Amino acid sequence: MKLFGREKEEEFTVLVVREADEVAEAVDEALRTAGPEERPGLERAAALLATVRETTDAELRGNWARRKIAEAGVKGRADSVPAVKAIREAEPGLSLLQAVRLSQEAAALEDEERDGQGRTA
């Protein structure tokens, strides 16, 4: 179906930049030459970087959106209209579709946290 001259759905092009690999390599190099007083902090940093490397692009985007929504003072679900508006105001170059998808990824993270807490509580 063709609406208003568009032949296909707009692509979702939000780039996620990851530098964890480069930082992890630097920490690993520092660990190889670290003295005993530096080792505990560098080992902790290496463990944190390992966690970050496992984070998916959707989680990174969702966490970014959650931060922008919180900074705007929006209460309620991350996929609400005010949340989408906050995302677009934080990054004016985003299309409405991109902002909606980011808000959905943020809401999915909220749902996972809620469901995870519900199982362990």
CB atoms within 10 A of CB 98: 20
Query: What pLDDT is stored for residue 21 in this prediction?
Result: 80
| Contact call for residues 18 and 64 (beta carbons, < 8 A) | no
Q: Give which of 85, 54, 63, 62 is closest to 72, Cα–Cα.
A: 85
User: Per-residue confidence of the chain (121 residues) as pLDDT tens digits?
Assistant: 334 444 455 555 665 666 778 888 899 999 999 999 999 999 999 998 888 888 888 998 999 999 999 999 999 999 999 999 999 999 999 999 999 999 999 999 999 998 886 443 3
pTM for this model (two decimals):
0.68
Mean pLDDT of the chain: 84
**pLDDT tens-digit map of 33-63:** 999 999 999 999 999 888 888 888 899 899 9
